[in-house]
């Protein structure tokens, strides 16, 4: 099975309005959480930031993720958990596809 892209039913979901160049996402909205299917170019570093609780899994590629003061390299199949309001940042070393689940129901808005 190829992992070159998310399937069409995912790419047909509403596009997320994400301000980082090289980062694309598709939103699956639920009443109490939000799932974002991310496709990220090897853009390098995303500055440390904070928001509500997040859980994710790497589908393809490689990234470094710093959660609090701990930095770890993540590859396909690895999952991560970021507790609410914990500072975190990432470095995208290759093209990366992840599925992120956010406790913040409105973490991202759909593009208009």
The predicted-structure confidence for 14-39, as pLDDT tens digits, reads as follows: 999 998 899 999 999 999 999 999 99
Query: What are the angstrom distances between the C-alpha of 105 and each of 19, 40, 51, 92, 95?
Result: 18, 22, 12, 25, 26
Residue 4 has pLDDT above 80, yes or no: no
Segment 54-73, tens digit of pLDDT? 999 999 999 999 999 999 99
Residue 107 has pLDDT above 80, yes or no: yes
Per-domain residue ranges of the chain? 13-97
Q: Which CATH architecture has domain 13-97?
A: Sandwich (2.60)
Cβ atoms of residues 37 and 60 within 8 Å: no
Q: Which two tokens stand for residue 2?
A: 């190829």
């Amino acid at each position: 099975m190829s992992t070159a892209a998310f399937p069409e039913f995912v790419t047909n979901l509403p596009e997320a309005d994400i301000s980082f160049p090289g980062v694309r996402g598709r939103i699956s909205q639920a009443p109490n959480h939000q799932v974002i299917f991310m496709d990220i170019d090897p853009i390098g570093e995303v500055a440390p930031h904070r928001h509500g609780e997040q859980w994710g899994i790497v589908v393809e590629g490689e990234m470094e993720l710093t959660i609090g003061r701990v930095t770890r390299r993540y590859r396909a199949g690895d999952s991560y958990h970021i507790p609410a309001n914990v500072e975190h940042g990432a470095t995208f070393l290759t093209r990366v596809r992840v599925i992120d689940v956010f406790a913040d129901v409105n973490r991202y808005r759909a593009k208009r």
